[in-house]
Amino acid sequence: MIELGLVVAASTLAVGLAATLVLRLLPTVRTQLAGLALLSVALPLGAVLLSGWVMFHMGDDVKILAVAAASATVAVVVALVLGRSIAARIDRLSAASVELAAGDLAARAPASGPRELAELGASFNEMAGNVERLFDARRQLVAWASHDLRTPLASMQAMLEAVEDGLVEPEHYARAMQDQVRTLSMLVDDLFELARIDAGVLTLELRDAPLEGVVASCLRGLEAEAHARHVRLESRIPAALPNVRCAPDKVERVLYNLLANALRHTPSDGSVGVIVARDGDEVQVSVEDTGEGIDGEAESRMFERFWRGDPARTRTKGGAGLGLAIAQGLVEAQGGRIWAETRPGGGARVSFTLPAATAAAAV
Ligand SMILES: Nc1ncnc2c1ncn2[C@@H]1O[C@H](COP(=O)(O)OP(=O)(O)OP(=O)(O)O)[C@@H](O)[C@H]1O
Ligand SMILES: [Mg+2]
pLDDT per residue over 184-200, tens digit each?
998 898 888 888 888 77
* 63 vs 138, residue with greater confidence: 138
Q: What pLDDT, on a 0 to 100 scale, did the predictor assign at position 1?
A: 58
Is pLDDT at 18 greater than 90 in this prediction? no
pTM of the model: 0.68
pLDDT-derived band at 75 (thresholds 50, 70, 90) equals: confident
pLDDT-derived band at 363 (thresholds 50, 70, 90) equals: very low
Is pLDDT at 162 greater than 90 in this prediction? yes
Contact 233, 219 (CB under 8 A): yes
Query: Which ligand 1 atom is at minimum distance from the Cα of 320?
Result: 26
Q: Report the pLDDT averaged over residues 158-180.
A: 91
Can you name the CATH fold of 207-362? Heat Shock Protein 90 (3.30.565)
* 70 vs 106, residue with greater confidence: 106
* 318 vs 165, residue with greater confidence: 165
Find the residues whose C-beta lies inside 6 A of ligand 1.
257, 261-262, 265, 289, 291-292, 294, 298, 302, 307-309, 318-325, 348
Which ligand is nearest to the Cα of residue 305, counting in written order?
Answer: 1
Q: What pLDDT, on a 0 to 100 scale, did the predictor assign at position 333?
A: 92
Q: Which residue from 190, 253, 324 has its CB within 8 A of the most atoms of ligand 1, so it is best to mutate?
A: 324
Is pLDDT at 50 greater than 90 in this prediction? no
Average pLDDT of the residues of the chain: 87
Considering only 13-27, 56-70, 239-253, 279-293, which range has the smallest mean pLDDT? 56-70
Rg of the chain (C-alpha set): 36
Is pLDDT at 247 greater than 90 in this prediction? yes
What pLDDT, in 10s, does the model give residues 89-98? 899 999 999 9
Which ligand is nearest to the Cα of residue 348, counting in written order?
Answer: 1
Is pLDDT at 17 greater than 50 in this prediction? yes
Query: How distant, in Å, are the alpha carbons of 49, 53, 54, 62 from that of 59?
Result: 11, 8, 12, 8
